Chain A
Amino acid sequence: MRVLIVEDEPNLLDTLATRLRSEGYAVDAAGNGRDGLFAGSEYPIDLAIVDLGLPDIPGTELIKRWRAADRSFPILILTARSSWEDKVAGLELGADDYLVKPFHTEELLARVRALLRRAAGWSDPRLRCGPFTLDTSAKTLFAEDVEIEITAFEYKVLEYLMLHAGKVVSKGELSEHLYEEDADRDSNVLEVIIGRLRRKLDPSRTLNPVETARGQGYRFRFAPNQQNDG
């Protein structure tokens, strides 16, 4: 999943970006409102973390412009102002959640996970599709209660596919959402990862959880078990 952070305090921006990357997110970091506005408008990001107190363009303005341009990714506001008037104003402009500075990074990560799930139509932190359960909090995978060991990158790919279970995800979309803008993308790497995931998820080659839609991309075959709440 690809996350945009817009924060003018370089230390905070750096720490957050590092932490999010270590959690397996592709991170676009913007140090000012202008860059943030551009990234949010042009890149296929899945979530934006926006500091409201930006020096050049107010955070609220970014939210307003993105929403006006039909950018619907979830937005998490960071604000030093803890007044309810500001919180409500930010949420009414189109943000989805807020965090008041200073916050615990764990709290931020939990909110990010929840927002990404919600955007994909999931409310439970455990994604259940057929016999498979992906715990997005613990980043663990189970097949019928048996844990399957997967690497961080495999997790990233599987999480994206399972969040969009039942839908075809193109290779291009997958790489756009898994890699940062300036990353060196190699589509062969994705194919290798998909192959490894297939072997780990379905060693007996009977379930075929990750289908190949010829010429279009991949699809996680099992629909979500739970009721999606949009």
Chain B
Amino acid sequence: MTVMPRSLNARVLSAAGAMLVVFLGVAGFAIDHVFRETAMASVQDRLKAQIFMLLSLANLDEPAVHPLPDTLPNPSLAVPDSGQYAQIFSAAGDPVWRSRSMLGLGVQQPPTTKVGEFSFQAPISSAAEPLFCLSYAVEWETRGKAEPTTYEFQVCEARKAYDLQIQRFRRSLWGWFGGLTALMLLVQTLILRWGLRPLRQVAVEVRAIEAGRQSEITGAYPRELRALTRNLNALIKARDFHVQRYRNALGDLAHSLKTPLAVIRSQLEDVELGGEARKTVQDQVAQIDDTVRYQLQRAATVGRHAFAPPLEASPVLERIAGSLRKVYHARALDITTRAEADALFYGDQGDLMEVVGNLADNACKWARSAVAISVRPLPRRPGQNRPALEVSVHDDGPGMPAALASEVLRRGLRLDESAEGQGIGLSVVRDVVEGGYGGTIRIDSAPGNTLITVVFEFD
């Protein structure tokens, strides 16, 4: 199974999109990391400031009385459940003082901290909420005491504030990054559209050539595309030129083969030959003639091709009918044509004339009084670019036996020697329609009613 190559747009956009996501993802992660570290540092700074504030206010000369004033500069310490807490432990681990905000909170076992050093614990889970805590041990020299007493100050802050800050930051960060990604993808798309515009232009021109509105690519294109458009033009021109040259060569070949055949045939009628010998030579001449005619016609068939401009089928029918009226003048046949609107033939005019000419000529040979030639476009099938074309020729002749109808299309079979070229004519039709256009041919025949229908396909 082959995978359809994705469009250039999809390729470039998906690559750019992936790159953008990776780049912004890594950048966002780094920024997030830095921000969290900064936020944590500021939490520690705040806690440190609290400890210094407590230290400056503490009076631990008589710890039992009033280690700290009732009113503290940080009012949150006085409000229960405010998220900011402070306590002082003695060296033995007994709480000496607790801020009013700790009302109802369980006692935290103080960490054993070396004197003069900060110790940060994060996060400590308490009964109510996770906390960041900072401890600091001091040696308090009380007047009159020889040994200084060690106290441990601990301040805590609810982690909630920090989490909230991180959350707000992240929301804002990724919001901006998302917007930025969308904006950059949009810009990328616009750049791509602008960049690929010449390619779309070429496609439009190629379609116009297919539709026959123009005969070559005329627009000015960027350097990268110029080689392509130049080659396309050369290809189209070379094709027309080759077809013409080929046709001429085939015509010359036909002339140089058939004139001697005509001489042989005419001489044969004069020379003294036994009846049998004459018949043999005549048959051989007829066979050579048929082969030459069939093979030359086969070779001259152009067939469908992408750059075939549409051809109105109606005038071709009219020309064939006009010619046949002249040729069959003596038999006073009623030769009629009918063409539906938009009956377009996307191919070589010679091919269409060959098919219509042979079918109509055949019908005239057999018809009693009337021949009807008609053409109509078939309904477009889904995904079909150019609708198929149906050509049908009807005559009121004696009709073809069913067995012969199926065999008559076989190459070189002569249905009736008296109607010259009969077998070849229909074989040529079949070859052009099936071989050149991938179409179909059907024969419906009854006495007084013979209809031959061919369908050309162009996609």
Contact = CB atoms under 8 A, between A and B. Distances in A.
Interface in A1-55: 9, 11-12, 15-16, 18-19, 53
Contacts of B421: 100
Given A118-B329, A118-B330, A11 B357 contact: no
B269 interface: yes
Contacts of A105: 265-266, 269
A78 B261 CA distance: 13
B24 interface: no
B170 interface: no
A206 interface: no
A91 B326 contact: yes
Contacts of A18: 270
A88 interface: yes
Contact of A88 (B297, B353, B358): B353
A181 interface: no
A120 to B, nearest CB: 13
A170 interface: no
Report which residue of A11, A82, A100, A118 has the largest number of chain B beta carbons within 10 angstroms of its beta carbon: A82
Nearest to B348: A85
Contacts of B289: 102
A18 B271 CA distance: 13
A87 B421 CA distance: 15
Contacts of A107: 420
B308 interface: no
B319 interface: yes
Most buried by A among B266, B269, B330, B353: B266
A150 interface: no
B91 to A, nearest CB: 119
B263 to A, nearest CB: 5
A103 interface: yes
Contact of B326 (A78, A96, A102): A96
Contacts of A83: 251, 297, 300, 350, 353-354
B293 interface: yes
A163 B370 CA distance: 29
B325 to A, nearest CB: 10
Interface in A55-72: none
A213 interface: no
A229 B420 CA distance: 28
A97 B255 CA distance: 19
B251 A15 contact: no
Nearest to B325: A91
Contacts of A53: 255, 259
Contact of B259 (A9, A16, A85, A98): A9
A104 interface: yes
A227 B320 CA distance: 28
B267 interface: yes
Nearest to B296: A82
A84 B353 contact: yes
A223 interface: no
A101 B261 contact: yes
Interface residues of A, number: 35
Nearest to A8: B259
A156 B357 CA distance: 37
Given A82-B297, A83-B354, A96-B326, A15 B254 contact: no
B263 A9 contact: yes
B320 A84 contact: yes
A229 B330 CA distance: 10
Interface string B144-186: 0000000000000000000000000000000000000000000
B236 interface: no
A114 to B, nearest CB: 5
A80 interface: yes
A88 B320 contact: yes
B327 A81 contact: no
A107 B419 CA distance: 11
Interface in B235-260: 251, 254-259
B266 A19 contact: yes
Contact of B357 (A19, A81, A84): A84
B75 interface: no
Contacts of B296: 82
Contacts of A229: 332
A12 B266 contact: yes
B341 interface: no
B142 to A, nearest CB: 127
A9 B357 contact: no
Interface of A: 9, 11-12, 15-16, 18-19, 53, 78, 80-88, 91-92, 96-98, 100-105, 107, 114, 117-118, 123, 229
Nearest 7 Cβ contacts at the A-B interface: A84-B357, A80-B258, A102-B262, A102-B261, A80-B255, A101-B262, A101-B258
Interface of B: 251, 254-259, 261-267, 269-270, 285, 289, 293, 296-297, 300, 319-320, 322-323, 326-327, 329-330, 332, 349-350, 353-354, 356-358, 420-421
21 contacts: A15-B266, A15-B267, A16-B266, A19-B269, A82-B296, A83-B350, A84-B320, A84-B358, A85-B350, A86-B251, A88-B322, A91-B326, A92-B323, A96-B329, A97-B326, A98-B327, A101-B259, A102-B262, A102-B265, A102-B266, A123-B332
